[in-house]
């Protein structure tokens, strides 16, 4: 009987290192097997050292089958979905088509160009279907903390799968581009065998707040500041940069972009219209000395305390920008990315010790909203897709457990909620059955950059 195996090369119980292989194995024609890849992200070493270290997915499974890869699609531009692309492509050493939304493609293309990989990422427009080998894919635009995010309905020879990567259903998105809920319902009219769904928000009741609620926070924090304001967030959080630029303009502040990743990302976002840059408001980082402290905002990379990031250097006194007692640092970064909390804690302590005011989530103010849907959004997706099986992704065991409880409240039976143990991967059979007989040990590889 024909079958399809889904291998999560960064493990199913992982928030980061997203790389999924949909491996179709036709009965009796073992050499005609085909692999579709979804995402190619990096992760963080999960130890308690004071620096965040990068790790890539284990791709030995793919290296052994590299000529079977029909193509790769990228869901969105977050590092844990595209960040390992250069290393993985070099390891595989074969060419296959790579597709992504316009914004994701631009973000990933820069990574390939910097690694001197000549391949060009192809742009997939919303509503455009795509055939890769025996797989047919339909992209569906969804809201997340980054524009240009796609879910995919994937038709395979044994049935359809819904790949529901990181999402929330933001009903008031800052860019006015809504989730294509109608499209999810339309594409799910045909039976869907399994829904792979983001589950990181499964512990949270209700709906995730909209990104737009932070407008007020930025306005208030910048209004109250007496000296320089440093704002840090994930470098690709364009919504946040746009909000910081707008609030700074309101109080006559010039803005400097500090750090390579933030300059690079803001450039892409402004070229694609996601950030409105007023050239007169921007100030070169070499000229910030000429601007009075209370007229200056610095958008600075390194909110996750990555090794060598600008913020880590500023905090450690190793940057030309030195901390002043009148400075205010705003951490508008996610509260939960495994492998980063000890390093972020260290960073906050360093800044506080030097006398700066530091504003961060634990102080109780809403400085960040999650890009991941809470229980009601997860339930809505489960309802719309109505798949036979549910396979939570993008969360750890605690999130997967809560997702499973939610699904069982909605009438799903235990054998329909797939929670594979570490190293076990589901095989879906043409008759609709599933088993976990396929085992694979994974060894994430440190990324030395």
Q: What angle do CA 112, 313, 291 make, to 5 degrees?
A: 100
Q: Is 413 exposed, middle or buried (0-12, 13-18, 19+ CB in 10 A)?
A: exposed
Q: Is 87 in the site for Zn ion (CB under 5 A)?
A: no
Residue 79 half-sphere exposure, CB side, CA atoms within 13 Å? Answer: 17
Region near Zn ion per CB under 5 A, out of 26-34, 75-83, 103-111, 425-433: 75-83
Instruction: Using the structure block, give the residue that is written with the tokens 């990104």.
Output: 211
Q: Per this entry, what is the length of the chain?
A: 449
Beta bridge partners of 393: 198
Window of 76-84, 216-224, 301-309, 333-341 that interacts with Zn ion by CB under 5 A = 76-84
DSSP class of 135 = E
State the Cα–Cα distance between residues 17 and 83, nearest whole angstrom: 9
One residue of 53, 78, 163, 445 binding Zn ion per CB under 5 A: 78
- Residue with smaller CB distance to Zn ion, 5 or 78: 78
Q: How far is the CB of 223 from Zn ion (least distance, A)?
A: 30
Start-to-end Cα distance in the chain: 45
411-430 positions binding Zn ion, by CB under 5 A: none
Cβ distance to Zn ion smaller for residue 18 or 248: 18
C-alpha closest to that of 14 among 51, 41, 36, 50: 41
Run of H or E including 185: helix 181-187
Query: By rule CB under 5 A, what count of residues binds Zn ion?
Result: 2
Stretch that binds Zn ion, among 26-34, 66-74, 78-86, 297-305 (CB under 5 A): 78-86
Binding-site string for Zn ion from residue 310 to residue 329, where x marks contact by CB under 5 A and - marks none: --------------------
Residue 197: both structure tokens together: 């769904």
Question: Least distance from C-beta 157 to Zn ion, angstroms?
Answer: 30
Q: Which part of the chain contacts Zn ion (CB under 5 A), choosing from 19-27, 71-79, 198-206, 328-336?
A: 71-79
Binding mask of the shown chain, residues 160 to 199, with x at each position contacting Zn ion by CB under 5 A: ------x---------------------------------
User: Of the two residues 35 and 73, which places its CB atom closer to Zn ion in the complex?
Assistant: 73
Question: To the nearest whole angstrom, how small is the minimum distance from the Cβ of residue 18 to Zn ion?
Answer: 8
Query: Measured between alpha carbons, how far is residue 302 from residues 23, 261, 306, 308, 424 in Å?
Result: 36, 9, 6, 8, 35
Interface with Zn ion (CB under 5 A): 78, 166
């Amino acid at each position: 009987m024909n079958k399809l195996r889904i291998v999560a090369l960064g493990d199913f119980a992982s928030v980061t290192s997203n790389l999924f292989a949909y491996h179709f194995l036709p009965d009796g024609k073992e050499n005609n097997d085909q692999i579709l890849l979804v995402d190619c992200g990096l992760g963080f070493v999960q130890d308690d050292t004071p620096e965040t270290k990068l790790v890539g997915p284990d791709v030995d499974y793919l290296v052994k089958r590299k000529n079977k890869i029909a193509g790769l699609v990228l869901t969105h531009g977050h590092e844990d979905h595209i960040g390992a692309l250069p290393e993985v492509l070099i390891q595989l050493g074969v060419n296959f088509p790579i597709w992504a939304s316009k914004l994701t493609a631009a973000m990933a293309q820069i990574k390939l160009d910097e690694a001197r990989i000549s391949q060009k990422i192809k742009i997939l427009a919303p509503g455009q279907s795509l055939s890769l080998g025996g797989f047919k894919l339909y992209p569906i635009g969804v809201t997340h903390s980054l524009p240009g995010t796609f879910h995919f309905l994937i038709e395979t020879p044994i049935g359809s799968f819904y790949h529901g990567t990181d999402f929330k259903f933001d009903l008031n998105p800052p860019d006015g581009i809504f989730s294509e809920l109608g499209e999810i319902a339309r594409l799910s009219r045909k039976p869907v065998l399994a829904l792979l769904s983001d589950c990181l928000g499964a512990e949270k009741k209700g709906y995730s707040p909209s990104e737009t609620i932070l407008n007020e926070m930025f306005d208030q924090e910048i209004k109250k500041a007496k000296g320089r304001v440093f704002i840090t967030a994930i470098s690709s959080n364009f919504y946040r940069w746009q909000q910081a630029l707008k609030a700074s303009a309101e109080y006559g502040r010039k803005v400097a972009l500090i750090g390579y990743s933030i300059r690079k990302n803001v450039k892409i976002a402004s070229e694609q219209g996601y950030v409105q840059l007023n050239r007169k408001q921007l100030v070169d980082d070499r000229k910030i000395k000429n601007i009075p402290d209370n007229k200056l905002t610095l958008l600075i990379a390194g909110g996750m305390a990555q090794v060598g990031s600008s913020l880590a250097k500023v905090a450690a006194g190793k940057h030309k920008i030195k901390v002043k007692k009148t400075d205010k640092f705003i951490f508008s970064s996610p509260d939960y990315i495994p492998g980063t909390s000890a390093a972020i804690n260290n960073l906050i302590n360093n800044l506080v010790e030097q006398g700066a005011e530091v504003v961060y989530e634990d102080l109780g103010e809403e400085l960040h909203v999650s890009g991941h849907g809470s229980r009601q959004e997860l339930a809505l997706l489960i309802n719309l897709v109505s798949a036979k099986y549910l396979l939570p992704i993008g969360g750890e065991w605690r999130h997967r457990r809560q997702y499973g409880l939610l699904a069982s409240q909605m009438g799903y039976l235990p054998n329909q909620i797939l929670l594979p143990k570490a190293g076990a991967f589901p095989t879906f059979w043409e008759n609709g059955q599933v088993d976990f007989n396929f085992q694979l040990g994974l060894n994430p590889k440190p990324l030395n950059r």
